[in-house]
Structure 1
Amino acid sequence: MRIFFTGGSGKAGRHVAPYLAAQGHQVTNADLVALDHPAVADLRVDLTDAGETWSALAGLATFDELDLPGQPSYDAVVHFAAVPRILLRSDSATYATNVLSTYHVLEAATRLGVPKIVFASSETTYGICFAQGERRPLYLPVDEDHPTVPEDAYAMSKVAGEATARSFQARTGTDVYGLRINNVIEPHEYAELFPAFLADPALRRRNIFAYIDARDLGQMVQRCLETDGLGYQVFNVANADLSVAATTTELRERFYEGVEVRRELGRDETFYAIDKARELLGFAPEHSWRDVLPQP
């Protein structure tokens, strides 16, 4: 597939864009900063500018395409570009940048007839991660039907992005899949970060004790590209296990007393339900911190 990938130079994108290229796709990284990966084409694009976004999506990706009899169109858009969390820019700039860029990408992609759009939403939409003070899920495991009532600018922008995506899908019938991505962990971060998480599981409370390996996120995007006909969908994206050594029972007793449990949970099963992605896409995460670190 010929893929227009926004934000390929970010923490998640710098793993996912090359992963897709390794699967045989032609990937163009639309970002303000170059990825400089030999298998991925770089194109500097300001996605908050509607004209730039449209022009980039309608244009060439590489010099090799000049030799084709006609200019090719993109088969898919993967939209990861964003201010990636709070406390990097002002709240107003975070919200405006994320909402406007998402609108421009979705508008250009659907009007240009791109048949598949995958966009990054966030775990933060559930209103727990960046809440002021203590927030607990309404029930466990947290699935895609859990209410999304965030208080912070970043999560608000992601909820707005989901509403925008659903509207463009309803208008056009294009397959548009949103990924509520949990905390992205790069392979080297297991050794750097997880010893502290194993010593003090409270450090992972705001992430609902979940995580997603950047390599498994690549697999998730590939599954979305391979699966057609689902219309508009949102999917939780996480690894299958907890990000701490404590068991589900221990965590429930310590952090979630009185929270409804809607089904039986495995000893180390994530509280951030990925059942929908497994059932509709065949998502099967392969990596775990348990493969790297000795377990207590």
Structure 2
Amino acid sequence: MNILVTGGAGFIGGHLTEAFLRDGHDVVVLDNFDPFYGIGIKHRTVDQCRTVARSNGATLSVVEGDVRDAETVTGLVADADVVFHQAAQAGVRTSVERPRTVTAINVNGTVNVLQSALDGDVERLVLASSSSVYGKPVALPYHEDHPKAPISPYGVSKLAGEHYARVYHELHGLPVVSLRYFTVYGPRMRPNMAISNFVSRCYNGQPPVVYGDGRQTRDFTFVDDVVDANRTLLTTDVADGEVLNVGSTDTIEIRRLAELVRDQLAPDQSVEFVDAQKGDADHTHADVSKARDLIGYEPSTTIEDGVERFIEWYRRNREWYEPLVASG
């Protein structure tokens, strides 16, 4: 099968690319290699994927380009059987500072992918969305029908992408599924995320820093569970036109997460609290029953196990990863 992964050199996109190559699929990656964080992480991801491709008799092609370029997107989608659209300007806090950029990439870029998928007659398009679409909770956990009131331009952009996907499905029958990710973490994650920052600071004799009072709760989802949800959509069409939550086994308070990392790496350190930042949701918690019913999604990694796995990966890769964490 020929698969296109936009943003395929990024964190989630890179793990998807690696998984598809292990399964023997041919993959084309479209990525603009934006230095939003240490670009070396993306190059490491591509190198890893090339190694996997050679070991499994699969073909990997990497195209440096942008989803805002409709001509590039159209040409790549035309040769794909399935498209996984992961490319986005990530970062809630970044979106508060650069809303026009977020809109151009996350909304206009997504429309380019949708239109190209329609014109190219793809078998399936999977769109990466986010729990940021929910905003302030009316009730927890979030079911897919929960009211949406995003509190950041990033959340707005992701909700707009979902609506465009819905319209393309309803008007044209485009086989598209939107997956709402809940705070994904794991190896090669963005270095400005909470878990990677906590680990880095503790390894370097510094206290983990928590924004606000730390009572915010998050549904942290290990990247392997996210990969499983996406891989399932290669072989099933039961979710066409649907939006599905992709979350974890439970939630955790941010301050407890900081303590969990601290206790493993630097038990004598305190936890430092600083002012909360704009655009961050107070709570996220996924109801994954719809994804369980439709595609058999069953998250299997607890936050305790996932943090332990990330710390072990960090330890083995600290030499190249940590300077990038420091440079954010």
* TM-score of the pair, normalised by structure 1: 0.75
Residues 246 and 283 of structure 1, relative CA distance in 2, 3 Å threshold:
farther
Q: Secondary structure at the match of 2:214?
A: helix
Native 8 Å contact 2:219 2:252 kept in 1: yes
1:56 maps onto 2:67 in alignment: no
Query: Residue in 1 aligned with 2:122?
Result: 114
Native 8 Å contact 1:141 1:272 kept in 2: yes
Structure 1 Cα separation of the partners of residues 211 and 161 of structure 2? 34
Native 8 Å contact 1:19 1:215 kept in 2: no
1:76 maps onto 2:82 in alignment: yes
Write out per-residue CA displacement over residues 262-281 of structure 1, whole angstroms, 9 at most, x where no aligned residue: xxxxxxxx931111111110
Query: Residue in 1 aligned with 2:326?
Result: none
Native 8 Å contact 1:4 1:28 kept in 2: yes
Native 8 Å contact 1:204 1:243 kept in 2: no
Write out per-residue CA displacement over residues 180-211 of structure 1, whole angstroms, 9 at most, x where no aligned residue: 111111148768648999x9995372xx4201
Structure 2 Cα separation of the partners of residues 76 and 86 of structure 1? 28
Residues 160 and 290 of structure 1, relative CA distance in 2, 3 Å threshold:
same
Aligned-residue sequence identity (percent) comes to 31
Structure with more of its chain in helix, by fraction:
2
Q: 1:94 aligns with which of 98, 102, 107?
A: 102
Aligned length: 247
Structure 2 alignment gaps of length 5 or more: 34-42, 54-59, 190-194, 257-283, 309-328
Structure 1 Cα separation of the partners of residues 108 and 172 of structure 2? 19
**Structure 1 residue 86 displacement after superposition:** 3.1
Native 8 Å contact 1:3 1:74 kept in 2: yes
Q: 1:243 aligns with which of 248, 252, 255?
A: 252
Query: Residue in 1 aligned with 2:66?
Result: 46
Query: Residue in 1 aligned with 2:186?
Result: 186
Structure 2 Cα separation of the partners of residues 221 and 186 of structure 1? 16
Residues 239 and 94 of structure 1, relative CA distance in 2, 3 Å threshold:
same
Native 8 Å contact 2:218 2:254 kept in 1: no
**Structure 1 residue 227 displacement after superposition:** 1.4
Residues 56 and 139 of structure 1, relative CA distance in 2, 3 Å threshold:
same
Structure 2 Cα separation of the partners of residues 204 and 225 of structure 1? 38
Residues 292 and 125 of structure 1, relative CA distance in 2, 3 Å threshold:
closer
CA RMSD of aligned residues (A): 2.8
1:221 maps onto 2:233 in alignment: no
AA paired with 2:229?
A: M
Residues 188 and 47 of structure 1, relative CA distance in 2, 3 Å threshold:
closer
Structure 1 alignment gaps of length 5 or more: 59-72, 129-136, 248-269
**Structure 1 residue 173 displacement after superposition:** 1.5
Residues 191 and 32 of structure 1, relative CA distance in 2, 3 Å threshold:
closer
1:143 maps onto 2:143 in alignment: yes
Native 8 Å contact 1:240 1:274 kept in 2: no
* TM-score of the pair, normalised by structure 2: 0.68
Residues 103 and 23 of structure 1, relative CA distance in 2, 3 Å threshold:
same
Query: Residue in 2 aligned with 1:7?
Result: 7
Structure 2 Cα separation of the partners of residues 201 and 101 of structure 1? 33
Residues 103 and 191 of structure 1, relative CA distance in 2, 3 Å threshold:
closer
Structure 2 Cα separation of the partners of residues 191 and 83 of structure 1? 19
**Structure 1 residue 97 displacement after superposition:** 1.7
AA paired with 2:186?
A: E
Query: Residue in 1 aligned with 2:285?
Result: 271
**Structure 1 residue 155 displacement after superposition:** 0.8
AA paired with 2:90?
A: P
Q: Secondary structure at the match of 2:300?
A: coil
Structure 2 Cα separation of the partners of residues 2 and 74 of structure 1? 5
Query: Residue in 2 aligned with 1:124?
Result: 132
AA paired with 2:240?
A: G
Native 8 Å contact 2:215 2:255 kept in 1: no
Structure 2 Cα separation of the partners of residues 92 and 214 of structure 1? 29
1:291 maps onto 2:297 in alignment: no
